[in-house]
Amino acid sequence: MGLTNSILKPVADLVVARSVRQQKGSRLRDPSLWGARVDERGHLGIDGVALAEVVSRFGSPALVVGRSTLLADAMRVRDACATAGYPVRPYYSYKTNCIPGILREIHALGLGAEVISPYELWLAERLGVPGDAIIYNGVNKSADSLKRAVEIGVFSLNVDHLGEVDLVRALAEQAGRRLRVGVRLRLLPESHFGLSLTDGEAMAAVERILGAPRWLELQSVHFHLVAAARNSALHRRLTLAALEFIAQVRDRHGVRVPCLDVGGGFGVPTSGVMSRGAYAMQRLFTVPGRPPDPADHVSFEDYLRDLVATVRAFVARRGIEAPTMIIEPGRVITSRAEILVSRVHTIKRNRSEPHFALTDAGRVLIAYPCDYEYHQIFVANRMRAPLQERYNLMGRLCTTADWLARNRLLPSLSEGDTIAVMDAGAYFSSYASNFAFPRPAIVMAEGGRTEVLRSEESFEHLCAMDHLEDRESSRR
């Protein structure tokens, strides 16, 4: 029995009504939060390019990158690190957005690469990133990629389990090269990443590294917070735990750990990961989470300032040599610079709201983060139209699971309207699938012009790796 016909209907009505009030009162209605603007026609644009025209020219859906916003956010991170009054080195997280044309812009500003897979390591090298500007993380590194990391001399190869220490030692000895190694800590009990402190795994890894000084050099202690944090409280707590481990290494072995890698997980003011409660409400009542308040967010500069102060205070108290801080931001650099655009193809009206609007963009193919994050949505070709009706925005697959947003308050939609999903620069393209449809084009906007960063996949591309001709030939 559907929820609207069940005993929960009164509760559902209250929850939906509250969601509508939250959407009406949202402070995310200002496009300038993303470096975007509305032109005289009421069209939303980025870097002088109207988003509705991108759909007409490059097809629907498409991802649009505002170069000015991208550069501004990347320079902001770089400059915050340079002026922190403490040694801080930034490495961009490839998993967040691994489009080469975007990565080139980031590396041109002097940021390094943090990679988690053999492909990402290969791509960083292909883009000209020197080995000493690459951090290699990941839970399942192939032997070949580890060998390559040794050969190019990565800044730090962060081991995730004890057996990996033995493997990289053997590879370093085989190559006749000394390798800089980091130890990834598992600081949250619910995480399976890294080496545990409580059962001695992390210290055992350190001892194995120190036991092979000819081939391995202890470079860093690393942790990662998997979240889009809006303040620095948890990061500060985990930083203190990692620093305590560094102090124990010094006390037990008389060794300085040169670097503390605090990973990423820094949030942005204009989108937010839902709490467990909000996610449960979305699943049960098909309502979006509460829109984040941009004012309720610690800036990256203040975030970094908090972490630096935490490190300084600990170092002074424990009398250890200050480690260089490594950060691996992703979202704060690329999130707001990229926008997902899609055309409304069909409106299916119900007797009561929400109505169905069928688009080309759903969470299965291109918008998976919409499953667990709140993202602002605009009608890009009618920005001055009032909010009037609730819609379930659906994708193009034949499954009810392929939705873009549900119970979203929008202007009254028409076929041909262009939907714009903001903050698509973090994990949208990374999670994109070509299930039944080609993946979309990605274009960069600047000064009213567009440049294709990635062409839309063709049908031929989808089966390019299949041996169709070979099989047909073998039957003759």
Domains in the chain (CATH in brackets) are 17-65+336-462 (2.40.37.10), 67-334 (3.20.20.10)
φ/ψ (deg, to 5) at 15: -65, -45
Task: Count Cβ atoms below 10 Å from residue 221 Cβ, excluding itself.
Answer: 25
In angstroms, the CA 256 to CA 307 distance is: 20
List all residues 6 or more positions away from 378 whose beta carbon is below 8 Å from its beta carbon.
Answer: 31, 44, 419, 420, 422
Structure tokens at 297: 């967010």
Q: Do β-strands 418-421 and 377-379 pair in parallel, antiparallel, or remain unpaired?
A: antiparallel
Q: CB of 359 within 8 A of CB of 396?
A: yes
pLDDT at 206: 98
In angstroms, the CA 299 to CA 458 distance is: 41
| Short-list 420, 289, 375, CA closest to 18 | 289
In angstroms, the CA 476 to CA 474 distance is: 6
In angstroms, the CA 199 to CA 196 distance is: 6
pLDDT at 225: 84
Each residue's pLDDT tens digit in the chain (476 positions)? 354 456 778 888 899 999 999 999 999 999 999 999 999 999 999 999 999 999 999 999 999 999 999 999 999 999 999 999 999 999 999 999 999 999 999 999 999 999 999 999 999 999 999 999 999 999 989 999 999 999 999 999 999 999 999 999 999 999 999 999 999 999 988 888 999 999 999 999 999 999 999 999 999 999 998 778 888 999 999 999 999 999 999 999 999 999 999 999 999 999 999 999 999 999 999 999 999 999 999 999 999 999 999 999 999 999 999 999 999 999 999 999 999 999 999 999 999 999 999 999 999 999 999 999 999 999 999 999 999 999 999 999 999 999 999 999 999 999 999 999 999 999 999 999 999 999 999 999 999 999 999 999 999 999 999 987 766 555 55
Count Cα atoms within 13 angstroms, Cβ side, for 283: 9
What are the distances in angstroms from CA 240 to CA 191, 204, 329, 385? 18, 20, 19, 50
pLDDT at 1: 39
Beta strands, E only, 224-271: 259-261
The letter for the amino acid at 180 is: R
What are the distances in angstroms from CA 269 to CA 21, 89, 276, 282, 329? 20, 23, 19, 21, 15
The letter for the amino acid at 276 is: R
Torsion of CA 164, 166, 171, 173, to 10 degrees: 150
φ/ψ (deg, to 5) at 215: -115, -20
The letter for the amino acid at 74 is: A
| DSSP-assigned states of every residue in 353-411 | SPEEEEES--TTTT-GGGGTEE--EEETT-TTSPP-EEEEEE-SSSSTT-EEEEEEEES
